[in-house]
Structure 1
Amino acid sequence: MNKNIYLHIYNDYSARIQSGQLPAGKKLPSESELAEAYGTSRETVRKALLMLSQNGYIHKIKGKGSFVLDTQRMNFPVSGLVSFKEVSKNLGRSVRTIVYENGCVPSTSEEERRLQMKEPGPLWKVVRAREIDGEKIILDKDYFLTSYVPSLTAETAGNSIYAYLEGELHLTISYAKKEISVEEATPEDKLLLDLHDYQHIVVVRNYVHLVDTKLFQYTESRHRLDKFQFVDFARRAQSESDL
């Protein structure tokens, strides 16, 4: 075969994954097995596997091998400010919220910094896992200033907090600053989520403001990295010279 054999391997496996012939979670043959099957070197195989990994088809786990990722990832909007309940309506999947913590707690220095608190004080804290198709794949940690959100019932935490904030507390939620990063999974992530062998997690931090620009909520949404793709719509602004 020619020197572009790695492209042949890549195209072969990407097509098999896209067609469903190789389902999510399926382990690929070892580098040695692939090299023998395609009559090439392990170095060439590694190049093909790297391309498959970079394009979201497989996940390589050190010491265990390469595994097929779910290519039908769920879209999660980057822009906009929507609740999980609103997002879940468009998923077309079985969803459930599990409330691990819901109560008023003393602030920590980290939370005070995140919420720009001038002095320590109580915060309303809610920790919830989002289970989709039987797997807990999102961990949401919400902190609210009690001056705006004095209390939350367990029923509200398990349903839609934003419906309560807007419908009953009559807060006008306006905008949020978002930070997205990939970080090592914490012991809490591993305990409360179904991470399997994944050692990293996508973290979306939201700093949520009311219509009067007051920062009243900090949210940390921690997603299993194989299940989501974060999407946005962008439009290039036209200058007068473009018209």
Structure 2
Amino acid sequence: MTKLDLVYQDLKQKIDTGVYATDTLLPSENALASLYGASRDTIRKALAKLRDQGFIQSQKGRGSVVINRQQYVFPVSGVISYKELSQRLNFKTTTTMIENTQMPLPIANFKAVDPHAKPCTTTRLVRLREVNGEPVIIDIDYINGDVVPAISKAVAEDSLYAYFEGQLHLTIAYAKKEITVEPATAQDQQLLHLDANASVVVVKSVTSLEDTTAFQYTESRHRADRFRFQEFARRA
């Protein structure tokens, strides 16, 4: 294990165990360099990794502040499976399949994302995502039956993308997304343990293959109090 990894892992453990509590400052870069016998460059890289993982926030003139990990940072752009994302962010997650049925694609639900959607029969999957034992997302997927004929419970609770790419050898190319805030439905309230007046963040996406075939229509319903979406943009 490199010095960078040792510093990162030790700081992460101290944050996880409350040695460095939420809203408190980490020691300065100089103090950390002295503590770990490391260069300031190594300390900066370890702190950058902690920032990327959502453990700290840099504040000009103050230093690195430990932030509330109860809000999980999910990127908006990119085409990545939930399993891949949870592994990247070191989340402890479980997925439970609630429904697996066949039905026509509800074109009207995705009109804003894909105005050219065509009628097709789909597999409708409803899955509940939990992070650290807390229900936080309901994923509702409509998978084109002409592309993917059937999806087992084991696949639905593991990784659709691993199945699509690893077993069906599909080449997933891109996705279009729309983000809105909506009142929680009765199902949201029940599965996500929300009050009747709560809101959810809804991310609708249409994922296409390399040949431009739109084959996966997804509506992800997120607990608004547990998620923040983050994007990086550079001025041209």
TM-score, normalising length from structure 1?
0.64
Alpha carbons of structure 1 residues 108 and 180: separation in structure 2 relative to 1, 3 Å:
closer
Does the 8 Å contact 2:110/2:204 carry over to 1?
Answer: no
- Distance in 2, Cα, partners of 1:137 & 1:196: 14
Deviations 1:30-56 (A, max 9, x none): xxxxxxxxxxxxxxxxxxxxxxxxxxx
Shift of 1:107: 3.8
**Aligned with 1:81: secondary structure?**
coil
Shift of 1:171: 0.8
Does the 8 Å contact 1:209/1:215 carry over to 2?
Answer: yes
Deviations 1:157-213 (A, max 9, x none): 000000000111111111111111111111111122222576100011111111111
- Distance in 2, Cα, partners of 1:176 & 1:143: 14
Shift of 1:102: 1.6
Does the 8 Å contact 2:179/2:201 carry over to 1?
Answer: yes
Q: Which amino acid aligns with 2:223?
A: R
Aligned to 1:74: 72
**Is 2:216 the counterpart of 1:217?**
yes
Aligned to 1:125: 124
Alpha carbons of structure 1 residues 18 and 101: separation in structure 2 relative to 1, 3 Å:
same
**Is 2:98 the counterpart of 1:100?**
yes
Shift of 1:108: 4.0
| Correspondences of 1:71-220 after superposition (within 5 Å) | 71-72=68-69, 73-108=71-106, 110=108, 113=111, 116-119=116-119, 121-196=120-195, 199-220=198-219
- Distance in 2, Cα, partners of 1:97 & 1:118: 29
Shift of 1:90: 2.8
**Aligned with 1:188: secondary structure?**
helix
Deviations 1:85-118 (A, max 9, x none): 0111133332110110123224445358576454
Aligned to 2:33: none
Alpha carbons of structure 1 residues 182 and 101: separation in structure 2 relative to 1, 3 Å:
same
Does the 8 Å contact 2:189/2:196 carry over to 1?
Answer: no
RMSD between aligned alpha carbons? 2.4
Whose Rg is larger? Answer: 1
Alpha carbons of structure 1 residues 173 and 109: separation in structure 2 relative to 1, 3 Å:
closer
Aligned to 1:63: none
Aligned to 1:54: none
Greater Cα shift, 152-161 or 97-106: 97-106
- Distance in 2, Cα, partners of 1:168 & 1:191: 34
Does the 8 Å contact 2:72/2:228 carry over to 1?
Answer: yes
- Distance in 2, Cα, partners of 1:147 & 1:208: 15
